[in-house]
Structure 1
Amino acid sequence: MSISGIQGQLLEVTVVGCSRLRDTEWISRQDPYVCLEYASTKYRTRTCTDGGKNPTFQEKFVFNLIEGLREISLVVWNSNTLTFDDFIGSGRF
């Protein structure tokens, strides 16, 4: 796939949901959210309260493409009230 000529074009990314996430909760269902990063642009989905291992988000984000930069990073976290949020997983596409 060629990436020449993409500078300044827009890419819309939809975070649909997750399936079979690692469970970080002992007692209740986890409350996942997703963080996306491309260059200096960062986005975060809403927290899917009681989303468990298969949360749904259906949230759209728009990135301004940069010549030569080909990866978007994502990290899934479990939101906690009294302690630091728990890392669930990460990936790049």
Structure 2
Amino acid sequence: MPTGTLEVIIVEGRHLKDRDLVGQNDAYVEIYLDKKYKQRTTTFSNSNHPTWNERFTFNLQKGDDTIHFDVYDADVVGRDSIGSGKVK
């Protein structure tokens, strides 16, 4: 049973490190409290300064105390990690 909700807005990325050999990043963000339920932004193509302005809602369970953010560069095959962080 949920104990509350958490709303997260992914606004933008600034000066992301370029992971592509040609062109710029095709960046997206994965957000999760529990690895079994990840949410993600749309892919923002060919930019190291993406703007998403996307809103995500999570149902909080007892013990959910850390939200994780992983930023990736989408590739034709696989993905490259740009960075990650977490908030407790």
TMscore range, shorter length: 0.7 to 0.9
Question: Aligned residues: percent identity?
Answer: 33
Bigger strand fraction:
2
How far apart, in 1, do the equivalents of 2:48 and 2:82 lie? 10
Unaligned runs of 5+ in 1: 1-6
Deviation at 1:41, TM superposition (A): 2.4
1:86 Cα deviation from its structure 2 partner? 0.9
| TM alignment of 1:51-90, pairs within 5 A | 52-81=47-76, 83-90=77-84
Give the letter aligned to residue 20 of structure 1: H
Relative to the length of structure 2, the TM-score reads: 0.87
What are the ranges of 5 or more consecutive residues in structure 2 without an aligned counterpart?
none
CA-based RMSD of the aligned residues comes to: 1.2
Would you identify which runs of 4 or more consecutive aligned residues in structure 1 move more than 3 Å?
Answer: none
Q: Give the structure with higher Rg (CA).
A: 1
**Count of residue pairs brought into register by the alignment:** 85
TM-score (norm 1): 0.83
